[in-house]
Every structure is written in C-alpha cells, then in structure tokens.
Amino acid sequence: MKLHDFKVLTFDCYGTLIDWETGILGALAPLLAKARAQPSRNEVLETYGAIEFDQESATPAMPYSQLLSFVYKRLADTWGASVTNEEANVFGASVPDWPAFPDTVDALAYLKRHYRLVILSNVDRISFRSSNARLKVEFDAIYTAQDIGSYKPDTRNFEYLLRRLREDFGLEKPNVLHTAQSLYHDHEPARRIGLASAWIDRRHAQEGWGATKAPEGTPAYDFRFESMGALADAHRRETSA
C-alpha cells in the first residue's frame, strides 16, 4: 500500500491539524487559577478528555461549542471551583483561538496539489470556520458532528463520510485514507468499517493519551507519521522515486 494509491485524504482536525491540547490548556487557565485542586498538565488533559467523551455520549446532538460549556462546568465541579455561565460560554467559544501545529499549513498546501482534502470533525460549523482560516487551505468538503448528529467514535460519522464522498465526488472506500491523531476516536472506528488510515502520532514524545480516551490495545492502522510534515515528506519521496 502506497500513499499515492488514494484520491482523498479525510482529516480529523483537532489534535491532528489544530493543536487542541495547547488550546484547551490556555482556555482552561482562568478555571485552574481558582481551582482548589491543582492537577498536573497530564491530569488536566485526561480529566478533560474523560468528561468531554462522557458529555458527547450523553448529548450527541448538542453543538460542540455548547457542549464545551457543559464540560467547563463539570470540570469546575471536579476541581472545586465556582464558575459563572458567562465563563463557561467563553470556554465554549474558545475553539477559534486554538492554534494550528507549526507544520500543518505547509503540509496541507502541498497535499492539496495531490488529493482532495476533506474534514470529518467532532465540532460545529461556526467553530470550525475560524480554524479553517488558520489552516489556510480550501477543503473540498467539511462534515461535522453538527451535520451528522453524533460524535466520533460513533461509526455513523464514518458511514456518513463515505456516503457523502460517494454522492458528492464519486469516491469509494478504496480511494479514501483517513488521517488522524486519535486512535480511539478515529482509527478504531475506521478499522471497524474497513477504512484505510494514517496515524499522525502527535504525542509520540509524551506519556499517556492526553485529551483523548485511551484505546483498547493498539488499533490497526496502515501508516504512521509523527507529524503532518512527515506525511507530506513521505509522499514527496514516493513520487520522486
């Protein structure tokens, strides 16, 4: 299997293209400053990831920005802090402030010359709009949890993706390489439906799973890269060989 076997790259965004852990930690700083508990960086991310996943499971149709407000209040309860609705809503609106990884923009610009690029993200459309401006590329399609009514790792999201790619572009499953950081949210369900995937192992130099739920074992994947830049470089080597 080679990278140039595929016609479309489908992307998770947050954690893969956008540095959501840096964004989350920055947006949580006001809460952590007044929390009775003082968790470590990894503890903050792990607690956030567990509560976010639980909230997504409980309210799958809730838009992501609203869902984040609920997550913020639950984190405040966990860490013994009192917060207002306004503070929770500010956190819910923080996604546009989350930065892109340093290698993302150049990698996407290169890959755009060789593939259709498509987003499949656990986000709402308004939040993604500002992230899209940071990524500086025109995606061929954007499919969000708000469009689908559920959050990954629900396989409904991937079935929706494949149906829309077939209807909108005439692309079938063998044409698609799903590209993502989260083994739990993306690679496990991708494997369940027989979709090829590339793991962008952004946390390769860190312990634990950060803000994503730990997978059961290590799900199968077809490619592994430590960054989007490394994926683009691998494609360059293939095409120049």
Distance in angstroms (rounded) separating the CA atoms of residues 176 and 153: 18
CB 152 within 8 A of CB 120: yes
Q: Record the tokens describing residue 91, joined without a space.
A: 């956190």
Residue located via tokens 């499953």: 173
**Residue 66 CA: distances (Å) to CA of 59, 85, 93, 95, 225:** 10, 11, 8, 11, 33
DSSP 119-166: EEESS-HHHHHHHHHHHTS--SEEEEHHHHTS-TTSHHHHHHHHHHHH
SS3 225: strand
- How many degrees, rounded to 5, is the angle at CA 164 between CA 213 and CA 60? 35
Single out the catalytic residue among 5, 12, 19, 124. 12
Contacts of 218 (CB under 8 A, 6+ apart): 183
Handedness of CA 10, 13, 17, 21 (dihedral sign): negative
Is 12 annotated in the active site?
A: yes
| In the chain, alpha helices (H) | 20-33, 41-58, 64-79, 85-92, 104-112, 125-135, 145-148, 155-169, 188-192, 228-240
* Catalytic positions: 12
